[in-house]
Each structure stands twice: as C-alpha cells, then as structure tokens.
Amino acid sequence: MKLHRIVALITRHLYLYRRSLPRMMEIFYWPFLDLVVWGFITIYLMRFQGQLPGVVTFFLGALILWDVLFRAQQGITISFLEEIWARNLMNLFASPLKPSEFLAATMALSVFKVTAVSIVMVVAALVFYSYNLFLIGLWLIPFVLNLIVAGWTIGVLTTSLIMRFGQEAEVLAWGMVFLFQPISCVFYPIEVLPRWLQAVAWANPAAHVFEGMRLVLNQAALPLMHLAWATGLNLLYLALMVGWFHHTFSICKERGLLVRVGE
C-alpha cells in the first residue's frame, strides 16, 4: 500500500465538502434532525421513567451510537458512489491505485464522517437535552471502534453489490444498513426478539455492542464478553467482506462491468 495514493483519494473527497451544501447537510442537518425527533420522543417517554428506568440514557445514547455505524457505512459506500456519479472510476482504476488502497481511503473518510457527525450529535444532545454521552465512560471507546468496523463491513458489502449490479443498486447505499437495524437491538434489549431471531442477532457484532452498552448503563455487569464477541465477529466479517470485495472486483474486470458501472 502506498500512502500518497490513499492521501490523494482522501483529499479528493475532502475537496468535495468544501463547496457542497448537500454534503455538509449530510454531516450537520440530518444527524441534528434525528436527534431532535428522538430527543422529543425521549422526553415523552421520561413520563414513564418508573416503568422504563434509564430511558433517556438508553435512547439518546443508542441513537448516537447507531449513527456511528450508519455514517461509517455511508463513508465507504457514498465515496464509491461519488466516483460513479463523477464518472471517475476509470481514472482511478487505470491508475496504480489498488483496490485495497481504495478501501483504506474510504475507511479513513468514514472515520472523518463519523467524527464530524458524532461531534454534532454529542454537542446537540448536551445542549438541548442535557444528555452526556460520556456517562458510558471509557467503555465508549471500544463500543465506538466496534461500531465503526461493523459499519465498514456493511459498507464494503454494499459497495461490492453496487459494483457488481451497477448504479441501479445504489439504493442499497441508504437501505442496506437498516436491514441490520432490527437485529442490532439498538433501542430494545435482545430478549425482545423471537427466539430464532435472537440467534441471528447474536451473530451480529452491533447487537453485542448495544447489549454491552445497556449493561454498562444499568451497572449490571462488565460488558467484557460482549466486547470480545463483537470484536471477534467484526474482524471475521471484515476480513470476509474485504476478500469478497477483491473477488467482486476481479469478476467486474472479467465481465467488463467496471467500465460500465456508471451507465
């Protein structure tokens, strides 16, 4: 891997944000609106605080952490779509840029996006709802890292599908992540799910993160087992997805799809 090629791609995408209002909205406007709506729902639910202890910390914390996963996924997939929209894929892949460098750059961009969005949401939650995400404490760090990696995995999967099936599959960039939301148990505990779906959810690293978060907030136990599972599953899935991305890239070159992906 060559750092200058990764830097080139990162810079190319950062230039986009300098003069693009819609792209800035992606960072400030939507996450902020999300927080406002869920903030009001939380205020309403606080009336039932007796029946639902810790509702504020659960909901707003979960919302911010879910956005970490969502933006990490978008950071990868939207960066790929940007290249399709700009008809720039040929320029990139006819250069010495390797697919692994492309992925590395998009992963770095997703960290940039996650950081920007998280700052907006954390500050807004503090200002408008007096909610401090850092109540979760140092556990927040491994939780966030795991959610970023989970977002990358879904991002690489989605990007591979768009590369393989063309621009008509671009709707997956926004929809795919929500396929994983019910089994990520973001806003409810895993025991709410039917038993068969619980088994599926346990195979999802994000579910372990959100279960772990609830454990910390309830001060019930240390979430070490959940973190171990989340990390192990994340590393396994990410390795598989990166391998699949390379395989899809070869198939696309074989079938001439790479040069037609934007058509």
Residues at the interface with other proteins (CB under 8 A): 2, 4-5, 7-9, 11-12, 15-16, 19-20, 82, 86-88, 90-98, 250, 253-256, 258-259
For residues 35 and 215, give the distance between their C-alpha atoms in angstroms, rounded to a whole number: 23
Q: How far is the CB of 173 from other proteins (least distance, A)?
A: 18
Q: How far is the CB of 251 from other proteins (least distance, A)?
A: 9
Q: Which two tokens stand for residue 98?
A: 């390797």
The smaller minimum CB distance to other proteins, of residues 47 and 87, is found at 87
For residues 201 and 193, the answer to whether their CB atoms sit within 8 Å is yes
The smaller minimum CB distance to other proteins, of residues 97 and 169, is found at 97
Q: How far is the CB of 159 from other proteins (least distance, A)?
A: 18
Q: How far is the CB of 93 from other proteins (least distance, A)?
A: 6
Neighbours of 48 (CB within 10 A): 10
The smaller minimum CB distance to other proteins, of residues 66 and 93, is found at 93
Q: How far is the CB of 83 from other proteins (least distance, A)?
A: 8
Nearest of 173, 181, 172, 161 to residue 241 by alpha carbon = 161
The smaller minimum CB distance to other proteins, of residues 50 and 96, is found at 96
The owner of tokens 């977002």 is 151
The smaller minimum CB distance to other proteins, of residues 2 and 47, is found at 2
Interior/surface letters 12-37, b for 16+ CB within 10 angstroms, e for the rest: bbeeebeeeeeeeebbeeebbebbee
The owner of tokens 């919302």 is 63
